[in-house]
Structure 1
Amino acid sequence: MFTNTEQFSAASKAAVEANLAIFTSLYNKAFEGFEKVVDLNLTAAKSSLEDGSSAARQLLGAKDPQEFLTLAAAQAQPNMEKAIAYGRHLATIASGVQAEFSKAAEAQVAETSRKVLDLVDEISKNAPAGSENAVAMLKSAIGNASAGYEQFNKSTKQAVEVMETNLTNAVSQFSQPAAKPARAAKK
């Protein structure tokens, strides 16, 4: 049978290794998200440069101020749509990274809770008589901590959902007025 010190040492080593694994995983997920944002920004910058050059050529070719204003108004809608698409894509990337972080954290908390409870069970086998109440209190504290984390995680998910809903609503409200100048320019 192991002594309590050996059991704690083994449990500590396992916890450090598990934390290292989870941090490595989270780092990789964060870096993947960063790569996606960089790719999105490079694509947006290249598209913006090409579109800006084309728009400038069109505007310079205007024969009179009325045609210039009509061309400028006609370019507003596609530019607005691209900005909205960029915002949505950026929100999708952020939401995906957040979901990966949540999933990894949930798995880590569940595994750590299980290991701690197993360790408490193992140590309680060697505990002196009369310590059952202390062991029960320790198990209850671990259960309460897990429940608190689950509630925090649910609240975080709800906050992200509300943010995504608000972003979607803002985009749709913003895109409606932006469409009006383009429709007016086509008339």
Structure 2
Amino acid sequence: MLTVEQILAAQKAQVSTLFDLSSKALASVERLNELNLQAARASLSETASHAQAVLGAKDLQDVVALQSAALQPMAEKAASYSRHLYDIATGMGAELSKVAEAQASDAQKQFVAAVDSAVKNAPQGSESAVAAVKSAVSTASAAMESVQKAVKQASELAEANFNAVTSTAVSSAKPAARSSKSAA
């Protein structure tokens, strides 16, 4: 049975975890806002420069060449922005996963301790029931570990796919930019 001190300690730990996660979430929001501000500033500056260059073009071929030259950097910048967004999201996801794993581990330890305590106080003849409970706890622990491994593998695969798609998109923009320059 839980004592008042154990309940208070658990509540304090939960509040501490909540504030820690809130702080990390705010840090992620700050990083996201900073990224968006940087992107907006860069976009405004580049748009102004590009507009000046287009206004200074002498003929249609110059305008087409300027437009074509702008395509590749745009694709690379979009890919870079996406990578930064992905890094921010995966960083926060990793923090949440760490906390969830720690919470699950603590809960499992408390449950095992409660089972052990119950086993010590079990009446004679209940050894088979105790063995069944211990087996169930062991099976649940193994299942939880395999789920955590599967989630990590899926996350790694998703990251690899994201990186592949991003690099493919940037690579695809290069020939498009070159071909439109050739057409000019």
Same fold (TM > 0.5)? yes
Please list every run of 5 or more consecutive structure 2 residues that lacks an aligned counterpart in the other structure.
none
**Cα pair 1:15 1:112 within 8 Å, conserved:** no
Match of 2:151 among 151, 156, 160: 156
Counterpart position of 1:65? 60
**Structure 2 CA distance, aligned partners of 1:11 and 1:138?**
24
Going from structure 1 to structure 2, the CA distance change for 1:138 and 1:9 (only over 3 Å counts) comes to farther
Please list every run of 5 or more consecutive structure 1 residues that lacks an aligned counterpart in the other structure.
none
The Cα RMSD (Å) is 2.3
Counterpart position of 1:123? 118
Displacement after TM superposition at 1:12 (Å):
5.0
Q: Which stretch of the first structure deviates more once superposed, 148-157 or 60-69? A: 148-157
The 5-angstrom pairing of residues 134-153 of structure 1 reads: 134-153=129-148
Counterpart position of 2:127? 132
Going from structure 1 to structure 2, the CA distance change for 1:148 and 1:28 (only over 3 Å counts) comes to farther
Structure 2 counterpart SS, 1:127:
coil
Pair 1:29 & 2:21 matched: no
Structure 2 counterpart SS, 1:63:
coil
**Structure 1 CA distance, aligned partners of 2:142 and 2:119?**
23
Going from structure 1 to structure 2, the CA distance change for 1:31 and 1:48 (only over 3 Å counts) comes to same
Going from structure 1 to structure 2, the CA distance change for 1:11 and 1:138 (only over 3 Å counts) comes to farther
**Structure 1 CA distance, aligned partners of 2:160 and 2:115?**
43
Match of 1:83 among 68, 73, 78: 78
Structure 1 counterpart SS, 2:57:
coil
- 1:127 maps to amino acid: A
Instruction: Count residues in correspondence.
Output: 182
Counterpart position of 2:50? 55
Match of 2:171 among 159, 172, 176: 176
Going from structure 1 to structure 2, the CA distance change for 1:133 and 1:15 (only over 3 Å counts) comes to farther
The percent of aligned pairs where both chains have the same amino acid is 41
- 2:64 maps to amino acid: L
**Cα pair 1:81 1:175 within 8 Å, conserved:** yes
Pair 1:44 & 2:56 matched: no
Residue-by-residue CA offset, 1:143-180 (whole Å, 9 max, x unaligned): 22222222222222122112111111111211112112
Going from structure 1 to structure 2, the CA distance change for 1:117 and 1:8 (only over 3 Å counts) comes to farther
The 5-angstrom pairing of residues 92-131 of structure 1 reads: 92-131=87-126
Residue-by-residue CA offset, 1:27-57 (whole Å, 9 max, x unaligned): 3333322221121111111111111111111
Q: Which stretch of the first structure deviates more once superposed, 67-76 or 14-23? A: 14-23
